[in-house]
Amino acid sequence: MDDRQLLRYGRHILLEEIGLEGQKRLQAATALIVGAGGLGSPAAMYLAAAGVGSLLIADGDTVDLSNLQRQILHRDHAVGQPKVESGTRTLAELNPDVRIEPIHARLEGASLAAAVARSQVVLDCSDNFATRHAINRACVLAGVPLVSGAAIRFDGQLSVYDPRQAESPCYHCIFPQTDSLEEVRCAVMGVFAPLTGIVGTMQAAEALKILGGFGKAAVGRLLLIDSRSMQIDSVTLARNPDCEVCATSQRGRPSA
């Protein structure tokens, strides 16, 4: 770490829980962010600002004018452009030391598995259940911690699922994948703009704790955020011993 970086990350280094070694761990780490929208925008910006070494940003969508109310990675002139390209420019301006790899695609199958395997933490900033469940399965198989966030209307959720911990549930334990599960999207229901910033920033905080090896991640807890009253409730989560995704292995990974 050179003198410029020591100055740049000095406020982290001054924290006893992080220090120089913790900051070096952040710089050596790779994080995968799935979704460069309302949640992925603040999450990516704080991870980049904090000096996480490599960020994989995956999103197959383009910037729409309606996104700009909350998706702070993007600017007016980026309307019509791929979100990952717009986001890469913003992050490069924010911290040129961070390596950004844009993935202009909806990750699935082998490409999703490969991206997860390259990462030390995955941030699910997507907006649909199919993608959420696919990410969860890939994280369980690879043994990679998953930081999951959601925001709709004035209500947000956040939890961390860590297959490295025997008692940790996975996303499927808490939100089983069923055909009857109703898909709720902000394009139809609306979303309070700062709420996405609150949840996305909390996702960044959880990811930094995991990568830097400090603090205690919100594993086994579901945080429920009501931005109308600014109340945050914490619900204890238990692993489902019959979960078809994670229950076949003590470490949360399905066995052959």
> What whole-number distance in Å separates Cα of residue 11 and Cα of residue 9?
6
Instruction: Give the residue from 151, 150, 179, 149 showing the smallest Cα distance to 161.
Output: 149
> What whole-number distance in Å separates Cα of residue 76 and Cα of residue 2?
36
Residue type at position 212: G
Structural contact between residues 79 and 63, judged by C-beta atoms closer than 8 angstroms: yes
CATH of domain 3-236: 3.40.50.720
pLDDT for position 254: 41
> What whole-number distance in Å separates Cα of residue 171 and Cα of residue 37?
21
Q: How many CB atoms lie within 10 A of CB 2?
A: 8
> What whole-number distance in Å separates Cα of residue 241 and Cα of residue 243?
6
Residue type at position 223: L
> What whole-number distance in Å separates Cα of residue 67 and Cα of residue 118?
29
- Three-state secondary-structure class, residue 165: coil
Q: What tens-digit pLDDT sequence spans the chain (256 residues)?
A: 899 999 999 999 999 999 999 999 999 999 999 999 999 999 999 999 999 999 999 999 999 999 999 999 999 999 999 999 999 999 999 999 999 999 999 999 999 999 999 999 999 999 899 999 999 999 999 999 999 999 999 999 999 999 999 999 999 999 998 755 556 566 668 999 999 999 999 999 999 999 999 999 999 999 999 999 999 999 999 999 999 999 865 443 443 3
pLDDT for position 200: 98
The residue count of the chain comes to: 256
Structure tokens belonging to residue 42: 């603040």
The whole model's pTM is what? 0.93
Cβ-count burial of 230 within 10 angstroms (0-12 exposed, 13-18 middle, 19+ buried)? Answer: exposed
